[in-house]
Structure 1
Amino acid sequence: MTSFGKRQLLKYLGTIRGRGNLTIGNGQINLGIVSYEIDSYLDREFYSADGQIEGDTAHLMRAFEAGSARISLPRGRSVEVVLADPIGISAVEIVIQGRLPL
């Protein structure tokens, strides 16, 4: 946690882990199940989240090439993600678009 004097700049909000469907094309194309681990933070009034997903390398590459994808979360929720280039490996870093529904 980063702080400056008595004012806290970055607050850790939590981590979610699980398995969910990875989709592209506004959820119309299901690429299969991925495992995810996502950390969420609050920097003053701005939310950010990032993490890692693991799944089939071909599906990760397809989601990377699509520009963005969605991961289904429990209770019918989902989150939009942008993937780093998987470079032929089965685990890849992700950045969350928007606020993570904790």
Structure 2
Amino acid sequence: MDAFAVSENILAEEEKPDANGRQNTEETNKFQRAISSWRGIDLTNTIPKLDATASEIVANQRDALVQRKDLAQKTKDFRKLDDASKLTEYKGLLKGRT
């Protein structure tokens, strides 16, 4: 027997007919399955993992934004160079390095 079901009198409700005289077992079974699914999620361990993942995503987004701005600045500087300098500097621009 499920301790939660006993403490909440869920099993007792299964035996009682509803207003129409039918057993209420299908709804109770759905409820018990939902409760067991929530127990299987293990929120106490899942929440810290999700928080760490969210922090990592934010850090990666911040890094990507900085890198895009840096590349945009390098592209602007590259356009200002004369043709001879562009021939030597284009590889660094393609690789994203100076």
Decide: shared fold, TM above 0.5. no
Give the TM-score band, short-chain normalised: under 0.3
Which entry has the higher C-alpha Rg, 1 or 2? Answer: 2
Q: TM-score, normalised by structure 2?
A: 0.22
> Higher strand fraction: Structure 1 or Structure 2?
1
